[in-house]
Amino acid sequence: MNSADIAVDVHGLRRRYGERTVIDGLDLRIRRGEFVVLLGESGCGKTTLLRALAGLDAVDGGRIDGPRQPAVVFQEHRLLPWDTLWRNVALGLDDATGRPLAEAALAEVGLGDRLDDWPRNLSGGQAQRVALARALVREPRLLLLDEPFAALDALTRIRMQGLVKQLVARHRPGVLLVTHDVDEAVALGDRVLVMRAGAIASEYAVPPQANTHRAHPDAVALRERLLGELGVASDALACA
Amino acid sequence: MSSLPFSPAVPAGAAAHHAERARPSPRRLSAAALLAISWLAPALLVLIWELAARAGQVSPQVLPAPSKIAATAWDLIQQGRLISDLFTSLLRAATGFVIGGSLGFALGTAVGFSRLAEALLDRSIQMVRAVPFLAVLPLVIVWFGVDEGGKIFLVSLGVMFPIYINTVLGIRQVDPKLLELGKVTGLSNGQLIRRIVLPGALPSILAGVRYALAVAWLALVVAETIATSSGIGFLAMDAREFLRTDVIVLTILIYAGIGVLSDAVARLLERRLLAWHANYAAGGRR
């Protein structure tokens, strides 16, 4: 594979907190334009992995070959309350080139008419859309999403998932989405990884029809298997 | 019983219900009326004062009439003394504020950012702060005599600490999640400070500025009444020699007026600089 097609390549990553090994010899490769979802129970190390890729935490071993500065969207929007929306999106770019780029990015997430508004006037979903615009404005090679929809209501979450899918198809970064939500994983992912005890325990390719049709037999079957992987036995759902 | 027109059993509940409905209506005063009252009350007080003085109820030696004070103010303005003394005082306060404020801000920024600077400076600053700054007045007079330096020094000393403390506090309180965001956005240290740390610390710093303005006046009043040969405080001390109560009261009113004015400036500053903050935005707080 051409190295320009690779968003990030992780070899034998290791991370310890004191005695406890949180990530233990993890390998991962994400191609540009590929949407990878990382599922796992709380404490399995998936957020640790994302923070290591983001350059926020040091690693104790292994190698990460990827962009020095991937874009990150967190669970909270983390907008600067003292900057208008366009200045939030253009954070880190210089004002002259930043303004038109921010305008375009905000228009893409449907907030093109709110350039000079303050973050405090936004709903949770709108704020998260601005955070998404801020992440994409630099055309990142790698986009890290840390449960970005977890704090949103169910309807807003579905709309946001659609928007993310569409934006990723257009900008084609490699994506790593960390989530608890099996439905979300099946709806968005090209590939779903299940993480357990600091390593990738299993990997599933998601058939394209499972992305688009919730009720497709492939989607249903994959959800079942993933729930099983996460320790939720399917007979626990039998009554549903 | 229950068929009687005024049977107590039924109307008891109905009456209570009625009372509940009626409660919000009795004469709610509009915001404009309340504002008018808040200004009329002190105006009335001044009027009573004037009438009492004219009726001879209050000796002019104790408290001269407001009209007498106004006349005195006019006289002093025409002699050119009031304006020049006022200007002298304002200049002292401003100079002291700028020096003390810059020093407090610079030290606060250093200590807020660097644990090393904190270890080096903070304990000493806190020790000096524990001294009531007016207690050093005799020392200041020995050092500076009745020169300008002493007054400016005293004002600077008083202003420095509130600004220092609020700057450190403001910087320490900046949301670490926003700092993390700055890091993943690839901001340089300079950009991090300019775009995230200082704006985040600004509400706290401005609260310090507001408090420091009050301290500056206090320091100036004390300094000017003890060792000086010009300024508003000197005007008051000079008047004391001649038992000119009207001039003394005038200087007190001027100090009060400037205090109110400086607080208004501080508020305006807050409203302009913190427009993003829900609590400070126009209409968000009065």
The pair of three-digit structure tokens given for residue A80, joined into one six-digit string: 């600067």
Q: Quick check: is B149 in a domain?
A: yes
Whether the CB-CB separation of A106 and A113 falls below 8 Å is answered with no
The pair of three-digit structure tokens given for residue B268, joined into one six-digit string: 């305006």
| Mean pLDDT score, B181-200 | 91
pLDDT tens, B23-50? 554 567 788 889 999 899 999 999 999 9
pLDDT at residue number A71: 94
pLDDT at residue number B3: 44
> Residue A116's closest chain B neighbor by CA?
B276
Paired residues of B161 in beta bridges = none
SS (H, E, C) chain A: CCHHHEEEEEEEEEEEECCEEEEEEEEEEEECCCEEEEECCCCCCHHHHHHHHCCCCCCCEEEEECCCCCEEECCCCCCCCCCCHHHHHCCCCCHHHHHHHHHHHHHHCCCCCCCCCCHHHCCHHHHHHHHHHHHHCCCCCEEEEECCCCCCCHHHHHHHHHHHHHHHHHHCCEEEEEECCHHHHHHHCCEEEEEECCEEEEEEECCHHHHHCCCCHHHHHHHHHHHHHCCCCHHHHCCC
* Sole residue written with tokens 């707080």: B285
Whether the CB-CB separation of B153 and B220 falls below 8 Å is answered with no
Q: Quick check: is B27 in a domain?
A: no
* A199-205 and A71-73 beta bridge pairing: unpaired
pLDDT tens, B147-165? 888 889 999 999 999 999 9
pLDDT tens, A204-236? 999 988 888 888 899 889 999 999 888 876 555
pLDDT tens, B203-213? 999 999 999 99
Paired residues of A72 in beta bridges = A144
Letter string b/e over residues B58-87, b meaning 16 or more CB atoms within 10 A of that residue's CB: beeeebbbbebbeebbeebeeeebbeebbe
pLDDT at residue number B240: 86
The pair of three-digit structure tokens given for residue B20, joined into one six-digit string: 């509940």
> Residue B202's closest chain A neighbor by CA?
A82
pLDDT at residue number A185: 93
Does the beta carbon of A237 lie under 8 angstroms from any beta carbon of chain B?
no
Quick one: which of B131, B202, B214 has its CA closest to B169? B202
Q: How far apart are CA A12 and CA A211, in angstroms?
A: 30
Q: Quick check: is B285 in a domain?
A: no
Residue B42, classed as helix, strand or coil, is helix
pLDDT at residue number B155: 93
Q: Percent of chain B having pLDDT more than 70? A: 88
Range of the domain at B161: 79-273
- Whether residues B178 and A56 touch (CB distance < 8 A) is answered with no
> Residue B175's closest chain A neighbor by CA?
A78
Whether the CB-CB separation of B65 and B49 falls below 8 Å is answered with yes
- Whether residues B184 and A71 touch (CB distance < 8 A) is answered with yes
Which residues of B sit within 8 Å Cβ distance of A? 177-178, 180-187, 191, 195-196, 199-200, 202, 274-278
Instruction: Report the domain count for chain B.
Output: 1
> How far is CA A214 from its chain centroid?
20
* Sole residue written with tokens 């390998």: A27
Higher pLDDT, B227 or A211: A211
- Whether residues A72 and B184 touch (CB distance < 8 A) is answered with yes
With a CB-CB cutoff of 8 Å, which residues 36-95 of chain A face chain B? 54-56, 68-72, 74, 76, 78, 80-83, 91-92
Handedness of CA A112, A113, A117, A118 (dihedral sign): negative
Radius of gyration of chain A (CA): 18
Whether the CB-CB separation of A119 and A79 falls below 8 Å is answered with yes
- Whether residues A83 and B199 touch (CB distance < 8 A) is answered with yes
Whether the CB-CB separation of A15 and A44 falls below 8 Å is answered with no
Q: Quick check: is B28 in a domain?
A: no
| Mean pLDDT score, B102-122 | 93
Q: How far apart are CA B208 and CA A212, in angstroms?
A: 56
pLDDT at residue number A72: 95
| Mean pLDDT score, B133-155 | 87
pLDDT at residue number B162: 95
Q: Quick check: is B108 in a domain?
A: yes
Res B270 pLDDT > 70: yes
pLDDT at residue number A16: 87
Q: Quick check: is B260 in a domain?
A: yes
Res B16 pLDDT > 70: no
Q: What is the pLDDT along chain A (240 residues), one digit of tens a residue?
A: 566 788 999 998 988 888 888 888 889 999 999 999 999 888 788 888 999 999 898 888 888 988 888 999 999 999 999 999 999 999 988 878 899 999 999 999 999 999 999 999 999 999 999 999 999 998 999 999 999 998 889 899 999 999 999 999 999 999 999 998 899 999 999 999 999 888 898 999 999 888 888 888 998 899 999 998 888 765 555 444
pLDDT tens, A173-208? 999 999 988 999 999 999 999 998 888 989 999 998
- Whether residues A80 and B196 touch (CB distance < 8 A) is answered with yes
Res B225 pLDDT > 60: yes
> Residue A79's closest chain B neighbor by CA?
B178
Q: Which of A69, A82, A87, A116 to mutate to test the interface with B (most CBs of B within 10 A)?
A: A82
Res B11 pLDDT > 80: no
Judge: domain A1-70+141-208, CATH 3.40.50.300. yes
Q: How far apart are CA B204 and CA B209, in angstroms?
A: 9
pLDDT at residue number B15: 44
For position B117, which CATH number holds?
1.10.3720.10
Letter string b/e over residues A13-42, b meaning 16 or more CB atoms within 10 A of that residue's CB: bbbeeeeebbbbebebbbbbebbbbbbbee
Q: Among partner residues A56, A80, A120, which is closest to B183 by beta-carbon distance?
A: A56
SS (H, E, C) A40-71: CCCCCCHHHHHHHHCCCCCCCEEEEECCCCCE
Paired residues of A192 in beta bridges = A37, A204
Q: Model pTM greater than 0.90?
A: no
